[in-house]
Structure 1
Amino acid sequence: MKLQGKTALITGSAKGLGKRAAAELARLGCDIVLNYRSSGAEADELARRLAQQYGVRATAVEADIADPGDTGKLAEEALKLSGSVDILVNNAGPFIRERRVFADYNDEEIISLLHGNLLGAMLLDRKLLPGMRRSGWGRIIHFGFGHAMEGRAWPHRAVYAAAKTGLVSFTKTLAVEEGEHGITVNMVCPGDIRGDFKEKSIADVDGMRDPDSPLGRPGTGEDVARVISFLCLPQSDFLTGNIIDVTGGFDPIRTSIKPVQP
C-alpha cells in the first residue's frame, strides 16, 4: 500500500478514465474523493465498491468543473470529508466530439470549454495548494491530449486545443513554482481511447487489433491510470513539469481541413 495515508481527489471520476484512475490509486492505499456532475448513482456505487474492495475511505461530491463557483465548493467539501487532499487529478473537462470550425461555436460553448478544461483546473489547484504546502507534499496531475505539448493547429478542435495547450504552459510553470514545497505537477495526455475502453484493463484487450494504432492494440484506461499512479508515488518526486503522451504512438491531430461528413 504505497500511498496509504494519502487522499486523492479525482475530478470526473464516476466513469471513464477518471474512474479507472480512482481504482488504481485506491489499490495503492489512497483514500478517494470522487467527483461527478450528473452521474451520482455511478459515483456512489464506485465509492462503495472501492471502500469494500481496498479497505479505503471513499466518498463522492457533486460539482461541475466548468462552473467557477463549483470549484470552491468541491475543494471545501473534499477537505471537510477527508481532512486533506494530497493528490489532485484534474481529469474532468468538456469535449465536443462534433467536428466544426471555430466560427461555428457559440459563446456559451467557448466559455464552457475554456472554463472546464483550463480555468477549472487552475482554480481547483489554487484552492488545494495551501494544504499541500503545509504538509510539504503534493501531487497534481493535469489531463491533456496526445501531442498537446507541440501546440500544433487542430482544425475543428480550436477551443478545446487552446484550453489544453494553455494548460501545458501552466503545468510547467506551476511545477517550477511549487517544487520547493514538495509538490510535483505533471500532465498526462491520453490518445484516442474511447467508450468502454476507458475503463478496460490491458488484459481485457489482449489479442484485440486496432489498425490505427502503431502498437496494433487499443489503448485502455489502465494504460493511463498506471502512469498517473507512478507519478503519484513518493519515489517519483524528481519527475515534475512533464507532459507525458500515453498514445501508443498514435497521433490524433489532423492539421488540414477535410470536409465534415453530414
Structure 2
Amino acid sequence: MTDLNDATHSPEPAGRRAIVTGSDSGIGRATAVALAEAGMDVGITWHRDERGAHETADEVRAHGRAAEVVRLDASDAPACGDVVDDLCERLGGVDVFVNNAGTGSSTPFLEHGWDEWRHVVATDLDGPFVCLQRAARRMVEAGRGGRLIAVTSVHEHQPRVGSSAYDAAKHGLGGLMKTIALELGEHGITANTVAPGEIATPMTGQEDEDPRSKRRVGIPLGRPGDAPEIAAVIAFLASPEASYVTGASWVADGGMLQMGPQAGSHLAADDWRRV
C-alpha cells in the first residue's frame, strides 16, 4: 500500500503537479493560483475563454511555477480524458487533480428537454468520471498516492427548484467521489468534494464584484462567497495536512444549508416555487 503522506508534517506540498479543469476564471483560476502558491506546477484547461486561461497561466508563472494550457470540453466524454492524459504527459505526471469544470441550467422539470438534460449531466458527471479516472490511473501507476478533488455545489446535498439536471449530476458526482475514496484509499489516494454556496464568479453573473458589498439575508454570513475562499479549502485538501481526510464533502456556503427549517418557517410567499 502506498502512503503519500509519510512526511505529513513537512511544509512540502502533497505533490508538485496539479491539474485544475475550468481554470480560465472564477473558482478554477483562484484554485490554480493557490496551488501555484503552494509550490505546484499547474495544468490549466478552458472551454470558451482561451484568453482567460492564459491569464491564469501568467499568474501561476508569476509564482515561479510552470503552467500548461489546453482546451477541454467536459461534455465531450470520453475524449476529454485524452486531454487529461496529454496534460499529465506535459507536466510529467499528476499528484493533484481538481475537477472544477461544470455548467448548470434553470428550467422547471416538466419543461426540461432531453438535449439540455444530457448537456448538463454530461458536463457535470460523465466528463468528470472520465477525467477523474484518467488522473487516478496515472496516480496508481506512479505509486506515489494523490489527491482527487471535485467541486460540486451545496446542491450536492440539497435541491433547488429549476435545477433537476444540475442537482442530479452534483448528487451523482458526490456519490462517485465517496466510492472512489473507498476504492483508492489503499493506493494512498484521497477523494473529496468541495460544495460551494453562492460564489461571486462569472457563473453567477458576478464577475469582478466584491461579494462583501452584497446583502444576502438568507445566508447567515450575510453575503455571497469569494472564489479565493473556495480555493483555500481546495488547497487545504491538496496539502499534506489533509492526509487523513477522504470521502468527505466540504461545504463552503456561509451557512446557507443550515437555513432549511428556518427558511421553511419564515417564508411568507410562494415565490420560491418558481424559477
Q: Relative to 1, partners in 2 of residues 1:176 and 1:4: Cα closer, same or farther, differing over 3 Å?
A: closer
Task: Give how far 1:42 is off.
Answer: 1.3
Equivalent residue number for residue 164 of structure 1: 170
1:167-202 superposed Cα distances (whole Å, 9 cap, x missing partner): 11111111011011010000000001133698779x
The TM-score normalised by the length of structure 1 is 0.87
Q: CA RMSD in A?
A: 2.6
Q: Which stretches in structure 2 are left out of the alignment for 5+ residues?
A: 1-10, 265-269
Distance 1:5 1:106, change over 3 A: same
The match for 1:131 is 138
Tell me the residue number matched to 2:267: none
One-letter amino acid matched to 1:122: F
Q: Does the C-alpha gap of structure 1 residues 164 and 27 become closer, same or farther in structure 2, counting only changes over 3 Å?
A: same
Structure-2 change in CA distance of 1:234 and 1:4 (3 Å): closer
Give the total of aligned pairs. 254
Cα distance, 1:258 vs. partner?
Answer: 4.2
Unaligned runs of 5+ in 1: none
Pick aligned residue for 1:3 from 13, 19, 22: 13
Q: Are 2:121 and 1:114 aligned?
A: yes
Q: Does 1:143 align with 2:132?
A: no
* Superposition map of 1:76-95 within 5 A: 76-95=85-104
SS at match of 2:154: coil
CA-to-aligned-CA distance 1:216-260 (integer Å, 9 cap, x gap): 343111211111011111231100000111001013989988454
TM-score w.r.t. the length of structure 2 is 0.83
| Equivalent of 1:236 in 222, 227, 242 | 242
CA shift, 1:205, in A, is: 5.5
* Aligned twin of 1:191: 197
* Residue type of the alignment partner of 1:145: S
Partners of 2:101 and 2:15 in 1: CA distance: 24
Q: 1:186 to 1:218 in 2, by over 3 A?
A: same
Partner of 1:179: 185
User: CA contact under 8 A between 1:24 and 1:225: conserved in structure 2?
Assistant: yes
CA-to-aligned-CA distance 1:19-44 (integer Å, 9 cap, x gap): 11111111111100000011111111
Q: Corresponding residue for 2:84?
A: 75
Identity level (%): 31
